[in-house]
């Protein structure tokens, strides 16, 4: 009787151990799966941020190239010197450039921020990632849009009234035209108009803000990239 009881208890213990081990194995397997998915999403987010960083660095150079013709032209006018034809073309392109875009989000960020994994991330990482996308990138986008608004305003309110026009021909360089036929003289006259000059300076100054916000966003990216890489190592 005693031997049967011991065998019965042993069988129960074996069954209990088996169920427990099975439960622990399933839990371990799910944990490994969650970790793998988390690593994949974080790695994808890192790739998105790196791509966005290269985009910002490239855009920053383009914005500076759009500022330089304005600064050089204004300096030459101030010094009483004539603006060369090639600089005139760059200048008109710069002040009339009113299109383009900058996306403040990426597919990976949208997926991550709406998933359960987002809540599992450390607060410091969630805060910095959120500030990058909703703060750093947004400042860049808003400043770009403001710069375009200034360009549209300039063209709508001053180009025709200052006897100045421009047009693009497909597959060719930017072509310029002036109602009087004397582009340098008309440009010099226009730049001596305080209101026209002020409208141009609004464009120029807003673009310096774009570069400042781009640099700030890149600094934020560097910090977020370091945090995410360290977090991956800990997983």
Per residue in 56-78, pLDDT (tens digit) is 999 999 999 999 999 999 898 88
- Picking from 226, 214, 28, the residue whose alpha carbon sits closest to that of residue 138 is 214
- What digits encode the pLDDT tens for the residues 72-114? 998 988 888 888 878 887 888 888 888 778 899 888 898 888 8
DSSP state at residue 179: T
- What digits encode the pLDDT tens for the residues 197-219? 899 999 999 999 999 999 999 99
pLDDT of residue 170: 42
How far does Cα 194 stand from its chain's mean position?
Answer: 34
CB-CB neighbours of 101 under 10 Å: 8
pLDDT of residue 146: 94
Q: Which distant-in-sequence residues (6+ apart) come within 8 Å of 208 by Cβ? A: 67
Assess whether pLDDT exceeds 70 at residue 194. Answer: yes
Total number of domains constituting the chain: 1
Average pLDDT on 159-169 reads 60
Answer whether 162's CB lies under 8 Å from 133's CB.
no
| Alpha carbons 147 and 97: distance in angstroms, whole number | 9
Determine if residue 93 is left, alpha or beta; phi over 0 gives left, psi from -120 to 50 gives alpha, anything else beta. alpha
Place of tokens 């010197």: 81
Answer whether 126's CB lies under 8 Å from 231's CB.
no
What are 52's two structure tokens?
């966005």
DSSP state at residue 114: T
What is the chain's mean pLDDT, rounded?
A: 82
DSSP state at residue 95: H
| DSSP-assigned letters across all residues of 119-145 | HHS-HHHHHHHHHIIIIIHHHHHHHHH
pLDDT of residue 169: 37
Of the listed ranges 12-21, 62-71, 88-97, 128-137, the one predicted with least confidence: 12-21
Domain that holds residue 50: 2-234
DSSP state at residue 176: E
DSSP state at residue 165: E
- Please tell me the total number of residues recorded for the chain in this structure: 235
**What is the greatest pairwise CA distance in the chain?**
120
- pTM for the whole structure: 0.79
Answer whether 14's CB lies under 8 Å from 190's CB.
no
């Amino acid at each position: 009787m005693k031997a049967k009881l011991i065998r019965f208890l042993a069988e129960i213990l074996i069954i209990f151990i088996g169920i427990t081990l099975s439960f622990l194995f399933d839990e371990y397997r799910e944990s490994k799966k969650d970790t793998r998915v988390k690593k994949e999403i974080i790695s994808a987010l890192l790739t998105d941020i790196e791509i966005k960083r290269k985009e910002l660095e490239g855009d920053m150079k383009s914005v500076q190239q759009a500022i330089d013709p304005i600064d050089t032209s204004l300096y030459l006018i101030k010094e009483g010197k004539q603006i060369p034809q090639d600089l005139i073309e760059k200048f008109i392109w710069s002040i009339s450039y009113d299109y383009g875009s900058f996306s403040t989000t990426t597919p990976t960020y949208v997926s991550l921020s709406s998933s359960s994994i987002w809540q599992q991330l450390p607060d410091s990482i969630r805060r910095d990632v959120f500030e990058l996308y909703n703060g750093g990138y947004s400042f860049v986008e808003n400043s770009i849009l403001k710069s375009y608004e200034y360009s549209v305003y300039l063209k709508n309110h001053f180009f025709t009234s200052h006897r100045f026009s421009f047009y693009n021909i497909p597959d060719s360089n930017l072509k310029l035209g002036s109602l009087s036929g004397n582009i340098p003289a008309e440009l010099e006259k226009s730049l001596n108009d305080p209101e026209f000059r002020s409208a141009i300076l609004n464009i120029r100054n807003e673009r310096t803000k774009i570069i400042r916000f781009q640099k700030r966003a890149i600094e934020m990216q560097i910090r977020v990239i370091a945090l995410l890489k360290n977090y991956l190592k800990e997983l």
